[in-house]
């Protein structure tokens, strides 16, 4: 019996090995496209959580109302037993009333909505998440890089002297027109910016306007929290203007992502979807629509919070995600960024902001107004010693100013390629 048992066991093991080798060889024989599709579907399963309710947006987006405790953030091993903080311990005390209408700009309207709202809202205890589609992931350079900025420290404007070598300026492919403050410890920042729909020349380019909260150097250890609006055909598959956030703790290498496309940001709000279209947008010589964004540190818990508009506290980035920003920020930047892929060997015609230069002013140029920083005492204050930076002012430029209604403000942007920016 022992011999028979041994023989049966050996035969069984032989069959298992053969089946294993066969399955491996079949997998190896799968065409690369099939293997890629399998990776994509596995990634979609991780990203798209089972919804309580689904809403179809007029722009083609699908918004999934996902239970707040099932959102992507909780795939992070450090957040398995995390107790959601439903409200910040402290809210910064401010200088400006968001509802105050400037005497200079009575055509400003703050009633911006997200397009999906016309077809419904998400119930309490859920958060709205823009569903990721197969074609979204397939547009990325790889499944691993989907939802991430390209690894370059120049995705954040590195302040360079005006005499910098033009080759150094252009090698990153990113161009900026920003205002900034540095040389202090900052615990947040706020701004109100008007919203446009800039024209994008190439699908692999984008145009955005945002706040950067920065810590560390511009090397491999850069920490960044970013929030604003963007047009990015590569990420979203269209040219709509969308609310977005981004974070990284290693200069865009392995950590971080846009919106909720990885574990990190914990959303608590059931009204606003990260990455969803915002409407209406500003029009040249017509009504101006703007949004306010506030990012600040809850110094008791250590988390970085984000507020959209006057009353939408969206959620927070847990402090453990960061090294330098676990304490405070060393630099704040406000402004615009585009990708210049230099199609046909010329500067891109992708617009920044409204696509008009700053000197055209209100109703024509894009702006940031009431820019403020949060200090250690949790007060919103006007920034001191504001600097400006742009790589090529003939392509995109920035001009600052101040008055009693708008506090510190600046106009920025431009058309990209033009006779003075070949």
Residues forming the active site: 226, 337
Q: How far apart are CA 166 and CA 171, in angstroms?
A: 9
Q: Distance between CA atoms of 407 and 82, rounded to whole angstroms?
A: 40
Neighbours of 119 (CB within 10 A): 11
The strands making up 387-390's β-sheet, listed across from edge to edge, are: 257-258, 242-248, 223-231, 207-215, 329-339, 174-186, 387-390
- Give the H/E segment covering residue 398: strand 397-403
**DSSP assigned state of 5:** H
Rounded Cα gap, residues 231 and 254, in angstroms: 23
Placement of tokens 């920035």 in the chain:
398
Whole-angstrom distance, CA of residue 415 vs CA of residue 388: 19
Task: Find where tokens 């401010």 sit.
Answer: 94
Residues 6+ apart with CB under 8 A from 23: none
Comparing CA positions, the residue from 399, 422, 417 lying closest to residue 409 is 399
Closest among 131, 117, 119 to 48, alpha carbons compared? 131
Give Rg (Cα) of the chain. Answer: 24
Give the CA distances from residue 154 to residues 1, 3, 418, in Å, rounded to whole numbers and listed in that order. 73, 70, 23
């Amino acid at each position: 019996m022992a011999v028979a048992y041994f023989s049966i066991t050996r035969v069984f093991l032989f069959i298992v090995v053969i089946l294993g080798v066969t399955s491996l060889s079949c997998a190896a024989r799968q065409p690369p496209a099939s293997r890629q599709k399998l990776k994509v579907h596995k990634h979609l399963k991780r990203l798209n959580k089972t919804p309580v309710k689904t809403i179809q947006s007029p722009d083609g987006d699908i918004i999934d109302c996902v239970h707040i405790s099932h959102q992507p953030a909780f795939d992070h091993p450090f957040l398995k037993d995390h107790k959601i903080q439903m409200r910040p311990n402290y809210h910064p005390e401010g200088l400006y009333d968001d509802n105050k209408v400037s005497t200079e700009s009575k055509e400003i309207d703050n009633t911006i909505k997200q397009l999906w709202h016309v077809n419904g809202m998400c119930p309490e205890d859920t958060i709205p998440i823009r569903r990721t589609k197969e074609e979204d992931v397939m547009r990325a350079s790889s499944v691993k890089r989907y939802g991430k900025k390209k690894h370059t420290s120049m995705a954040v404007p590195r302040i360079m002297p005006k005499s910098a070598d033009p080759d150094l300026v252009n090698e990153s492919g990113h161009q900026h027109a920003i205002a900034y403050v540095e040389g202090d410890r900052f615990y947040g920042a706020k701004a109100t910016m008007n919203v446009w729909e800039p024209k994008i020349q190439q699908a692999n380019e984008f145009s955005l306007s945002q706040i950067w909260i920065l810590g560390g150097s511009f090397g491999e250890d850069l920490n960044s929290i970013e929030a604003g609006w963007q047009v990015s055909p590569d990420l979203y598959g269209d040219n709509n203007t969308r609310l977005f956030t981004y974070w990284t703790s290693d200069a865009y290498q392995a950590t971080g992502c846009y919106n909720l496309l990885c574990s990190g940001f914990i959303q608590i709000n059931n009204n606003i979807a990260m990455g969803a279209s915002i409407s209406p947008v500003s029009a040249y010589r017509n009504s101006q629509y703007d949004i306010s964004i506030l990012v600040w540190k809850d110094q008791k818990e250590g988390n970085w919070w984000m507020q959209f508009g006057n009353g939408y506290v969206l959620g927070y980035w847990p402090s453990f995600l960061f090294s330098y920003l676990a304490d405070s920020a060393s630099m704040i930047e406000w402004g615009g960024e585009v990708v210049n892929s230099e199609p046909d060997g010329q500067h891109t015609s992708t617009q920044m902001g409204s696509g008009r230069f700053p000197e055209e002013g209100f109703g024509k140029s894009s702006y940031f107004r009431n820019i403020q920083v949060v200090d250690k005492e949790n007060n919103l204050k006007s920034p001191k010693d504001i600097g400006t930076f742009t790589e090529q002012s003939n392509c995109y430029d920035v001009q600052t100013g101040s008055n009693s209604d708008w506090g510190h403000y600046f106009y920025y942007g431009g058309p990209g390629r033009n006779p003075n920016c070949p």
